[in-house]
Amino acid sequence: MFTQIGDEKIVIDFNKGITVRVGGPEQLYYVELHEFKKGDQQPYIVEGIHFTTMNDWYMKEFHLPIEFYMDFEIIIYKFDDTFGLKRIYSHRYNDRDQLVRFILDTDNLDEASVWLKRCMTYKKRNECHVEIISNFDEINSYSETRFKDRNLTPYKTYRIGKFPKNSNDWKTVDPRKEGVIWFGNWKTFWSYQHPRLWKSLSSQEIVDDILGL
């Protein structure tokens, strides 16, 4: 997604985690990600990162590799010499009427069928358009016809599968939260692809976790 607010050009992408890029005349920008927990309209901050594209500062963008569903809002600030941080833009995740891509990573047709059914439940709940990618033509046929064979960038991509834990950052190994990734003082999850360790879960529990069902 591309948005221009004054002199700032903002690019947001939800297809490989959550990525925000800002181009503009200011030296410093700051992005926060807030999550709305179910039944609670008071958001919780998940992560905040400041970055610049004007010099050799190592942070050039906001990126959080969480791939599973969250009800979240992105808030972008710029630093003003006179007023300090000024909020310039916000975007709350909303895939209604948007194209959502579901990649079903399994060679088991029965499992793919279970995952497809829950993807269609997600479609009904969120009122989005769907593209299904799997190893089975009969599963892929559930993609909406007008999106077949068109190289469109989805609003969001969900990968449904049994993925290994692939984070080696300090949030994974902190002794207070051993075995999980830890953000802030409240949010923990097992990997960037799965909220919980999937090995003891059924196929439906795996997809429900990833899609927030």
In this predicted structure, the answer to whether residue 171 has a pLDDT above a threshold of 60 is no
CATH code (residue 65): 2.60.40.10
pLDDT in tens, 172-186: 555 555 667 776 666
Q: Are residues 79 and 114 in the same domain?
A: no
> Among the three residues 92, 125, 153, which one is the final residue of a domain in this structure?
92
pLDDT of residue 5: 80
pLDDT of residue 85: 83
Strands 18-23 and 62-64, bridge-based pairing:
antiparallel
Q: Are residues 21 and 39 in the same domain?
A: yes
Tokens of 39: 């039944």
Assign 103 a pLDDT band (cuts: 50, 70, 90). very high
Q: Are residues 183 and 205 in the same domain?
A: yes
Its pTM stands at 0.86
- Nearby residues of 17 by Cβ (< 8 Å), 6 or more positions away: 63, 64, 65, 66, 67, 192
> Among the three residues 56, 73, 92, which one is the final residue of a domain in this structure?
92
Q: Are residues 86 and 106 in the same domain?
A: no
pLDDT in tens, 118-143: 999 999 999 999 999 999 999 999 88
> Among the three residues 62, 92, 122, which one is the final residue of a domain in this structure?
92
Q: Is-contact 96 127, C-beta < 8 A?
A: yes
pLDDT of residue 56: 57
Q: Is-contact 91 18, C-beta < 8 A?
A: no
Q: Are residues 128 and 67 in the same domain?
A: no
Q: Are residues 64 and 163 in the same domain?
A: no
pLDDT in tens, 106-118: 999 999 999 999 9
pLDDT of residue 64: 87
Mean residue pLDDT of the chain comes to: 85
Q: Are residues 86 and 186 in the same domain?
A: no
In this predicted structure, the answer to whether residue 8 has a pLDDT above a threshold of 90 is no
Between 102 and 151, name the one with better pLDDT.
Answer: 102
Angle at 141 between CA 140 and CA 142, to 5 degrees: 90
Q: Are residues 145 and 70 in the same domain?
A: no
3-state SS, residue 102? strand
CA distance 186 to 17: 20
pLDDT of residue 181: 77
Q: Are residues 41 and 109 in the same domain?
A: no
Host domain of residue 122 = 99-211
pLDDT in tens, 19-73: 998 887 777 888 999 999 887 788 888 888 877 766 655 557 788 889 999 999 9
Q: Are residues 50 and 153 in the same domain?
A: no
Count structural domains, the chain.
Answer: 2
Q: Are residues 88 and 103 in the same domain?
A: no
Assign 169 a pLDDT band (cuts: 50, 70, 90). low
In this predicted structure, the answer to whether residue 6 has a pLDDT above a threshold of 80 is yes
Q: Are residues 106 and 186 in the same domain?
A: yes
Sign of CA dihedral 63, 192, 44, 18: positive
pLDDT of residue 135: 95
